[in-house]
Copies of this chain bind each other. A is one copy, B any other.
């Protein structure tokens, strides 16, 4: 627990006045005031995150945390559990959606096994941080013990620290885990105080009957586990997932070093939500890259006070929506640094209105 407390205590309170100073700089650029909309908002937010008015193009890394979920035995997903491990090989071979989109956006990809139910031995390229081979079935008991949840959080934090030590200054958490929209829906229901039916979605593509069955499973889980929302670690252990816990730790470690985190969709925002419940200040360092097709994502974003940048009907996870949003972050930095001012370009500035 001491390491967790250190992680939480390290997160700096943001100096929100930097947003205004950044906006003053933006208002001198050759465009009508505010005309670059959310790019200007991003530039302001990045200044607050960085704690200063200098922005540089980020060195970005995506980390895909993979783990299995005991609840898959309740038939909540369209795909079999084996797909989690199969996709780990796909990530390492560079053939998955996130590989392609990270490449296109100029970000490295790292893959971490925090709990896949498969023995990868010493697979080259894979970061080994397995806490256990998948969570327990949360219908029958807690998904993890508190100690296991903590271990997964710290595993995620350690990966983030390593990347930041290598100079990465923008982190994107990705996820892979058949069954993980069920865990995310459970976490969202508990933290946002909403009924499962309001935060449960079709995952990889359930039909109406599949969705109804998933909601029924979630209702049972919440009745049986009945986690206390005031105890975020307890909630995570009871109804979370190992990759979600690792994402939580990854987000906390990034925030601790003023490194922006771009969140993807339902799973990564679940991890960020746990992080923000452990340390509310952490949310200042989060950007929501994409609006998930999973309905529970809206409640998560509201809880975090965030508006997603993109809405492209993606429902893949892996960090794909966040990787696409990285281009917008880069564009915001470029605007902030590279546009001419009214004075330097000899352009007449905005006149006073009546």
A53-95 vs B: 1/0 string, CB under 8 Å?
Answer: 0000000000000000000000000111011001101100101
Which B residues touch A105, using CB under 8 A?
327, 331
Q: How many copies does the complex hold?
A: 2
Check if A348 sits within 8 Å of B83, measured CB to CB.
Answer: yes
Which bracket fits the contact residues of A? 35 or more
A314 at the interface (CB under 8 A from B): yes
Check if A78 sits within 8 Å of B320, measured CB to CB.
Answer: no
Bound CA span A17–B190, Å: 47
CB distance from A177 to the nearest CB of B (A): 14
CB distance from A109 to the nearest CB of B (A): 13
A310-348 vs B: 1/0 string, CB under 8 Å?
Answer: 111111100010001001101100110011100011111
A35-B314, A207-B354 known; A79 vs B335 contact (CB < 8 Å)? no
Which B residues touch A313, using CB under 8 A?
37-38
A104 at the interface (CB under 8 A from B): yes
Bound CA span A80–B36, Å: 20
Tell me which of B32, B35, B344, B348 contacts A95 (CB under 8 A). B344
A166 at the interface (CB under 8 A from B): no
Check if B30 sits within 8 Å of A95, measured CB to CB.
Answer: yes
Check if B320 sits within 8 Å of A96, measured CB to CB.
Answer: no
Check if A351 sits within 8 Å of B32, measured CB to CB.
Answer: no
Tell me which of B83, B311, B316 contacts A36 (CB under 8 A). B316
CB distance from A309 to the nearest CB of B (A): 7
Check if B35 sits within 8 Å of A315, measured CB to CB.
Answer: yes
A226 at the interface (CB under 8 A from B): no
Check if A37 sits within 8 Å of B293, measured CB to CB.
Answer: yes
CB distance from A307 to the nearest CB of B (A): 10
CB distance from A310 to the nearest CB of B (A): 7
Check if B331 sits within 8 Å of A324, measured CB to CB.
Answer: yes
Bound CA span A107–B311, Å: 24
A193-210 vs B: 1/0 string, CB under 8 Å?
Answer: 000000000001111011
The chain B residue with its CB closest to the CB of A90 is B345
Which B residues touch A24, using CB under 8 A?
none
Tell me which of B32, B38, B100, B354 contacts A312 (CB under 8 A). B38
Binding site for B on A (CB under 8 A): 29-39, 78-80, 82-83, 86-87, 89-90, 93, 95-97, 99-101, 103-105, 204-207, 209-210, 293, 309-316, 320, 324, 327-328, 330-331, 334-335, 338-340, 344-348, 350-351, 353-354
20 contacting pairs across A/B (C-beta < 8 A):
A30-B87, A31-B316, A32-B79, A34-B205, A35-B315, A36-B97, A37-B315, A38-B313, A78-B350, A80-B351, A82-B348, A101-B334, A101-B335, A104-B330, A104-B331, A105-B327, A105-B331, A204-B350, A205-B350, A327-B327
